[in-house]
């Protein structure tokens, strides 16, 4: 008898939970006409940016491809010529592809890029029926010239953490060496160089 009463109580508690939800606001969003605001640091579809003068930021250095843990990026660089200058550096990306099906949207490519060329935008709508459609080449990644430079990462909704703001500002430059120095890899190299210089100095000193 006691057990039966307990079960009825449990049932009533369950029904009351269901009943209470009947008067709550529906969480369903009428997508795609209404879109949910995602987290400020959401990582979505990639974009290759340009400089103000329309030149491509990408210098075909392949650092993003090396940093990518999913092996999703293919970069084949080519030399700029005076007649056909695509980027301010010596090279540009003749071929640049990202397999978005392999991508885990970690953002390491963005972090590794010395010129702030590749960024992850908040866009997420990329559904398709064909596997091949998820391999994004330059024709879909590169911001069209009429669209300006592309969205800098620090202008995303709610911005980026303050500690990365300085790096982003320094990377937002046409000076490739300065841009590279501003990255984590650049910082590591600088520290190593300083360490080596100090070591050499100690070795050169007369004993």
In 3D, which of 198, 144, 192, 151 has the Cα closest to residue 172? Answer: 151
- Given candidates 45, 47, 50, 58, which one binds ligand SF4 under the rule CB under 6 A? 58
Is residue 72 involved in binding ligand SF4 (CB under 6 A)? yes
Residue whose CB is less far from ligand SF4, 123 or 200: 123
Is residue 182 involved in binding ligand SF4 (CB under 6 A)? no
- 198's CB contacts (< 8 A; 6+ apart) are none
Judged on CB neighbours under 10 Å (0-12, 13-18, 19+), 173 is middle
Stretch binding ligand SF4 (CB under 6 A), from 63-71, 131-139, 155-163, 199-207: 63-71
Residue whose CB is less far from ligand SF4, 106 or 170: 106
Residue whose CB is less far from ligand SF4, 101 or 207: 101
The alpha carbon of 77 is separated from its chain's Cα centroid by a whole number of angstroms, namely: 21
The answer to whether the CB of 156 falls within 8 A of the CB of 150 is: no
- Minimum separation from the CB atom of position 183 to ligand SF4 (A): 9
Rounded-to-integer distance, Cα 103 and Cα 64, Å: 12
Q: Which residues contact ligand SF4 by CB under 6 A?
A: 58-64, 67-70, 72-73, 75, 93, 98, 103-109, 112-113, 115, 117-118
């Amino acid at each position: 008898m006691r057990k039966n009463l307990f079960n009825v109580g449990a049932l009533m508690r369950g029904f009351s939970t269901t009943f209470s939800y009947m008067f709550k606001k529906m969480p369903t969003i009428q997508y795609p006409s209404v879109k949910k605001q995602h987290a400020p640091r959401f990582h979505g579809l990639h974009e290759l940016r340009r400089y103000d003068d329309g030149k491509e930021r990408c210098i075909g250095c392949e650092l993003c491809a090396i940093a990518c843990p999913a092996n999703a990026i293919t970069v084949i660089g080519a030399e700029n010529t005076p007649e056909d200058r695509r980027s301010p550096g010596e090279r540009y990306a003749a071929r640049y592809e990202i397999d978005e099906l392999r991508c885990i949207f970690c953002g390491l490519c963005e972090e590794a890029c010395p010129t702030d060329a590749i960024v992850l935008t908040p866009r997420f709508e990329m559904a398709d029926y064909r596997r091949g459609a998820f391999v994004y080449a330059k024709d879909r990644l590169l911001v069209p010239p009429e669209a300006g430079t592309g969205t800098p990462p620090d202008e995303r909704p709610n911005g980026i953490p303050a500690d990365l703001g300085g790096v982003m500002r320094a990377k937002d430059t046409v000076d490739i060496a300065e841009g590279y120095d501003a990255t984590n890899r650049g910082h590591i190299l600088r520290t190593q160089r300083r360490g080596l210089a100090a070591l050499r100095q100690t070795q050169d000193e007369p004993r």
